[in-house]
Structure 1
């Protein structure tokens, strides 16, 4: 069970964070949340789709696999992509509530937290290490980026641009595995928007992100090929 606490240089002065990738550290995940400003980096490696979450509406996610608990980019302790989404890289840190606003928290139950291995958070004098400063900066970017998701998704919904899709993947035994429950941007509806609607999306800063999300769908072919190589290896 997660144990989120505000990061404290006195109480946590000897904590370290293991940065090695691996299933043992929570990286065996099918997807991770992303946000419009990150789409340019994400689309170079992962399909960007949308998931409808209870009480939260649509959320853009980067897909790493085709089923729960599957990360096709994870090869032992190696993440086989040049870019790891911020929502993954920031672990075990998160933004929590502090007395004066958002504050950096740490999940003490994360397998990445250690007192003997990994990157130190504080130096011997109590100051923050370059690693912790980088994580704090990353959290700030993530916090700001996630705040842009609501207006972005609202614009997509307003113009009816989201549609559900189904992806069937051939299996070695002749059967098919199905990916369902996600949404993509409908290119035909986007192309049918009038100049005023397109201008509004551009002025709001949404249009570039929309095209990045659409471009990312070309990564489905590579993702399926990864899945099929894994299946053949298992067989």
Structure 2
């Protein structure tokens, strides 16, 4: 990451944002309010921050970096806030940019209009940073409650493809339905009243997308070999 600069409509009047580049990221962090929309398109899984070892929730956009997961029905997938805000950061409550981030390209969409006001792309970034800023503490608290009840466990993802290749996804975690269903009535009711139970079921249901992503990869391999 380069040196951050506070976003300024004068200094950054010519800055343009390449929206398409963001799907090169295959795993992005999400917050609790994004679980329901995300589960429609992507697997939701937990992993650990490499620096701190603390858990966070994320959407698996593709099986590997650089591989885009494209839906077969042509419907535009949900874009998590962390994906939208790539290249942007909050510094003391102000929006800052990493000018060296690959999302900024001459062929992209202008951040500001002719009057120096935020354009549509920048307004989407502003909304995304707002979602993350307010959602991360809430999500951390939810994950802490899941951990206290021993609901989060490693998930074994080993995929075999028709061309003989194999792929193993390590370091990922999911809610254990066995542990969830064995909770006491008091603990289950507490999760329900907090809204955590809905999120737990959304996460486990979303894991089915891994199988669909693997099938799409198989389909691409078949076309490439034909």
TM-score range for the pair, normalised by the shorter chain length: 0.7 to 0.9
Distance 1:217 1:6 in 2: 38
- Please report how far the alpha carbon of residue 173 of structure 1 lies from its aligned counterpart in structure 2 after TM superposition: 4.6
Structure with greater strand share of residues: 1
**Are the equivalent residues in 1 in contact too, given 2:28–2:83 (CA < 8 A)?**
yes
Q: How many angstroms apart in 2 are the aligned matches of 1:66 and 1:197? A: 34
Deviation at 1:80, TM superposition (A): 6.9
Task: Give matches, 1:25-36, under 5 Å.
Answer: 25-36=21-32
CA displacement at 1:167 relative to structure 2: 1.8
Please tell me the root mean square deviation across aligned C-alpha atoms, in Å: 2.3
What CA distance in whole angstroms lies between the structure 1 residues aligned with 2:115 and 2:60? 42
Alpha carbons 2:17, 2:121 under 8 Å: kept: no
CA shift in 2, pair 1:52/1:158, >3 Å: same
> TM-score, normalising length from structure 1?
0.84
State the match for 1:112 in structure 2: 103
Distance of 2:60 and 2:208 partners within structure 1: 12
Number of residue pairs the alignment of both structures matches: 222
- The structure whose residues are more often helix, as a share, is 2
Instruction: Structure 2: give runs of 5+ residues left out of the alignment.
Output: none
2:173 partner SS = strand
TM-score (norm 2): 0.87
C-alpha distance in structure 2 between counterparts of 1:170 and 1:124, whole Å = 52
Q: How do residues 70-219 of structure 1 correspond to structure 2 at under 5 angstroms? A: 70-73=66-69, 81-95=76-90, 97-98=91-92, 102-114=93-105, 116-174=106-164, 176-219=166-209
Measured against aligned partners, the alpha-carbon deviations of 1:87-116 in whole angstroms (never above 9, x if no partner) come to: 112223222x23xxx1111121122224x4
